Amino acid sequence: GAAAPGGAETFSGGPGNDANTPFAPELVYLDLPVLSGSEETGWARAGALAIPWRQMVLSSSVETEGYAARTTLDAPAKIGALAEPLPPGHIESRFDCTATLVVDLGFGGLASASRLSVLNGANAVAVRSDIDAWEIIQFEAAEEIAPGRWRLTSLLRGQAGTDDAMHAGASAGAAFIVLDSTVKSLGLSLDEAGRAFNWIAEASGANANGASLTVFAGGERALTPLSPVHL
């Protein structure tokens, strides 16, 4: 497979409906802060997009054999890339009506939400910043300005302690993913946090011989203390 912009990983092979036909999903691994609850290592997550979609299993190993299944991705994630740079932000915990997020989506669409819904966690997305950390952003308004291209406004930036990524901004082409139920936990244990594993994605019922390998270490972001304030 070849690395796609923004750290997404694409796998070699063409799409097909036959169970033994190789396919080429775009896969995004995320090391996220805790967004809800208290399960820190549950926020090492992954999402995938393939057209046509095939359910896939993510497996890991410390070597290049003996892979153990970790999670199943049941539905395609809304994965895309920034069509325009996202400048560094300076407003935390308040809606920023000056910033605009323009993204090209490979699948699906986005929808506006009420301010109350956003304040209760709706419309959360992740953008890979220029320091290679994910910024968590929520948006209130979404408008499709061209086929597959969306403009998101009224943003809550640097959510869940990702102010370091917010201050860095993101370049055009940076990876974007909607943080919904299609982005699944990798099932890491606490002692696996920060350890690099080899990961492969296999279509359910397919031969894994053509699966490409990705090295990913996750789980540490959720264990990282928030930035100090009120010194």
DSSP 188-214: --GGGTT-EEEEEEEETTS-GGG--EE
**pLDDT band per the 50, 70, 90 thresholds, residue 209:** low
pLDDT number for residue 5: 36
pLDDT number for residue 13: 36
Tally the residues of the chain: 231
Q: What's this model's pTM, rounded to 2 decimal places?
A: 0.86
**pLDDT band per the 50, 70, 90 thresholds, residue 39:** confident
pLDDT number for residue 40: 81
pLDDT number for residue 223: 87
Range of weakest confidence among 18-22, 208-212, 223-227? 18-22
Alpha-carbon span 184 to 179, nearest angstrom: 9
